[in-house]
Structure 1
Amino acid sequence: MPVVWAALAIVCAISLLNLVLTVAVIRRLREHTELINQGRAQSPAQGEVTLPAGTRVGEFRAVTGDDRTVTRDDLRQGMVVAFFSPRCPTCVEQKPAFIRYASGLSGGRDDVIAVLLGSPEELEGLREELSGVAQIVIEADVDGEMSTAFGLRGYPAFCLMGEKGVLSVTGFQVDVLPESAVL
C-alpha cells in the first residue's frame, strides 16, 4: 500500500509542476502578444507604415463598393485614405477613432477611402461598419493596386492627402491626422 501512495504522490507532484509551467507559459505568451501589438502600433517616427509624407503615391486604379473608379488623380488635398484588415488587433482598436474622425469631415464619405484587405467573406462586418463614413475598396492582400501604390508595409495605416497625390501625413494611429482636417 505504501508503494501506491508513493506513486500517487509522484503523479500529483508532476501534475502540479505541469500546471505551474503551463501557467508560466501562458503568462509569457500574453506578454509577447502585447509586445507584438505595440510593435504594430509604433509611431511613424519608429517606422513608416506607408510611403513617407512628402512622397507622391504610385499610379493605381481601384473600384469602390459603389462601383466608382478611383485613381491617383482622384485623390484631392484633405482626403483620407485608410487601410484595415480584420485579422489585425490594432485595426480593431483604431476603428472607432477612425469612424469618429471620418464622420467629422466636411466632405463626408466622398473625402474618405477605406481599403480593406482580406477576402470578401471575412470583410463583410468591417465593410458594413465603415461604409457609412468611407468609400470602400477591397483588396485581397498587400499586393493590391492601392496597397502597392501607397507602399503599404503594415496596418492599420492612415494617410492624409496633400496636393497632386502627395502624402501629407501618414501613420499607424488615427491621432496622426490633424484635427484641423475636421471641419
Structure 2
Amino acid sequence: MTLLAVAVVITAVLCVFSLLLNFGVIRRLREHTEMLTKLTSQSGSSAVMHPAGTALPALTATTADGEQVAVGREGRSTLIGFFTPSCPACAERLPEFAALAARMPGGADQVVAVAVGDLAETADLRAKLTGVARVVAEPDRGPLGQAFGVEGYPAFAMLDSSLVVFSGFDLRGVPLPEPV
C-alpha cells in the first residue's frame, strides 16, 4: 500500500510539473507572437525593398515574351511583385497578388510580375502569372531587383509614376489607384 501511495504522489508531482512547464511554453509563445505581430505591422516593409517615398529612375525591362516594359511611367500607377520559385511565401501570396492585379485599373498593362531565377526554374511561376501581369524573368539581383532594392521574397510595391507609394512583403494596405 505504501508503494502505491508513493507512486501516486510521484505521478501527481510530475503532472503538476508538466502543467507548469506547459503554461510557461504558452506564455513564451504569446510573447513571440506579439513580437512578430509588431515586426510585421510596423513599416518594416522597407526591410524587403525600398520604402514608400523612394523615387526611382526610369526603368525598362523585357518580358519573357520579348515585350519592352516601362516601369514607373509618368502619370501611371504600377503594381509590381517579385517572386521566386524556391520561396513558399511566394506561392502563398501569388493568388492574393493575382486578385489584386485583377482589380487594378488598366488591368495587366499596369501590373508587372518579376519571376526571379533562370528561365527553366521559373517556367511554372511565369505560367501562373501570365494574363495577370506582364511577366519579367530576371536573375537574382537583376536590374529591376537592384532598382527596387529587393532583399527578400515576395516583395511588392505600388508606384505612382516613378514614386514608390507602398512597399512590403504583405499585400494588405496596398493603395489601389482610382479608376479613370
Q: Which residue of 1 aligns with 2:108?
A: 109
2:90 matched to 1:91? yes
Q: Cα gap change, 1:67/1:89 in structure 2, threshold over 3 Å: closer, same or farther?
A: same
Q: How many Å separate the matches in 2 of 1:133 and 1:91?
A: 15
- Structure 2 match to 1:167: 164
Q: 1:151 to 1:107 in 2, by over 3 A?
A: same
**SS at structure 1 position matched to 2:98:** helix
Which amino acid is 2:55 matched to?
R
Report Cα offsets for 1:153-177 as digits up to 9, x if no partner: 11111111013x1101111012131
> Offset of 1:43 from its aligned partner?
4.7
Residue type of the partner of 2:169? F
Q: CA 1:72/1:97 → structure 2, altered by over 3 Å: closer, same or farther?
A: closer
Deviations, residues 61-87 of structure 1 (Å, cap 9, x unaligned): 320123222344536532101100111
Alignment correspondent of 2:135: 136
1:9-28 equivalence runs, <5 A: none
Identity rate of aligned residues, in percent?
34
More helix by share: 1
2:101–2:107: 8 Å Cα contact kept in structure 1?
yes
Cα RMSD of the aligned pairs, angstroms, is 2.6
**2:145 match:** 147
User: What TM-score comes out, normalization by structure 1 length?
Assistant: 0.69
Superposed counterparts of 1:50-89, under 5 Å: 50-72=49-71, 74=73, 76-89=75-88
* Number of corresponding residues: 144
Letter in 1 for 2:156: F
Q: Distance in 2 between matches of 1:117 and 1:50?
A: 15
Unaligned runs of 5+ in 1: 1-34
| Counterparts of 2:164 and 2:129, CA distance in 1 | 22
Aligned to 2:15: none
- Cα–Cα, structure 1 residues 120 and 75, in superposed 2: closer, same or farther, change >3 Å? farther
Structure 2 match to 1:118: 117
Where does the alignment leave 5 or more consecutive residues of structure 2 unmatched?
Answer: 1-32
What is the distance in 2 between the residues matched to 1:73 and 1:181? 14
SS of 1:138's partner is: strand
**Which deviates further from its counterpart, 60-69 or 97-106?**
60-69
Paired residue type of 2:146: T
Q: Secondary structure at the match of 2:120?
A: helix
Partner of 2:43: 45
